[in-house]
Amino acid sequence: MNYLASIGSYAIMVKEVFKKPTKWRIMKSLILKEIDELVYGSLGIIIFISFFIGAVVAIQTALNLTSPIIPKNLIGFATRQSIILEFAPTFVSVIMAGKVGSYITSSIGTMRVTEQIDALEVMGVNSLNYLVFPKIIAMLFYPFAIAIAMYVGIFGGWFAGVFGGFLTSANFVEGLQMDFIPFHITYAFIKTLIFAFIIATIPSYHGFYMKGGALEVGKASTTSFVWTSVVIIILNYILTQLMLG
């Protein structure tokens, strides 16, 4: 029953976020601040991880192609499919659930502990709209970060494959172009947008409704990461079954 109550509270919170909006003059600066902290500030770790994930996928694929009759361009094909379909949208989103989600939960949770949220509500401000809405809008730019992750991941695969001596650059590019389905890009970005909404709202829920003191802020951050990751994995399965099944 506690899980059902939490799901209901989360749904109510999402509904309240879009009520009684804050003045655009104030909201604009909040949104720009959240874009800088949530998306732009995460590009470094996204690029770093994507490059080496692409490199590892290419190397592992190459090492498993032991038969001489299997063409080397399958390394490029496998790298493209792995990065676009799963590693960029899903694996990076789980990492973002830890980095961004923990930041969101701890920042809102600290405001709850220090009674800043109570002060906002006393002044007649819709605290949920003021705190959560800018994060949702900022995370709408998250697909741009995933597009960069796709590019860097494939580049990492090319770099590892070519400079590791597993195949030529022409073979890798041929594999990239082989049996390409444009809908896979659409599928990846639809997943990314849904994951972005989850990353913005579930950590906000755990931070906004947390109880206790400073110690509970850390516990709430851990709990929000776990549940955000669980929801992302479950939605990944459902979306894959619906869109590709």
- Quote the CA–CA distance of 101 and 104 in Å, as a whole number: 5
Which stretches within the chain are classed as H helix? 2-17, 24-34, 43-64, 74-82, 92-113, 116-122, 127-139, 142-163, 169-177, 183-208, 214-244
- 148 band by pLDDT with thresholds 50, 70 and 90: very high
The per-residue pLDDT for 237 is 92
- Quote the CA–CA distance of 80 and 177 in Å, as a whole number: 9
Global model pTM greater than 0.85: yes
For residue 222, pLDDT over 80 is answered with yes
Q: How much is the average pLDDT of 45-61?
A: 90
For residue 1, pLDDT over 70 is answered with no
For residue 214, pLDDT over 80 is answered with no
Domain boundaries, the chain: 23-244
Six-digit token string for 69: 């009759």
Please report, for residues 17, 25, 173, the alpha-carbon distance to residue 11 in angstroms, rounded to integers and kept in the order given.
10, 28, 46
> At 22, which amino acid appears?
T
Six-digit token string for 165: 């001596």
The per-residue pLDDT for 221 is 84
What is the chain's length? 245
- Quote the CA–CA distance of 204 and 97 in Å, as a whole number: 12
Neighbours of 169 (CB within 10 A): 12
Higher pLDDT, 212 or 170: 170
The per-residue pLDDT for 144 is 92
> At 99, which amino acid appears?
K
The per-residue pLDDT for 209 is 85
Six-digit token string for 38: 């949530």
Residue 220 and residue 203 in contact, taking contact as beta carbons nearer than 8 Å: no
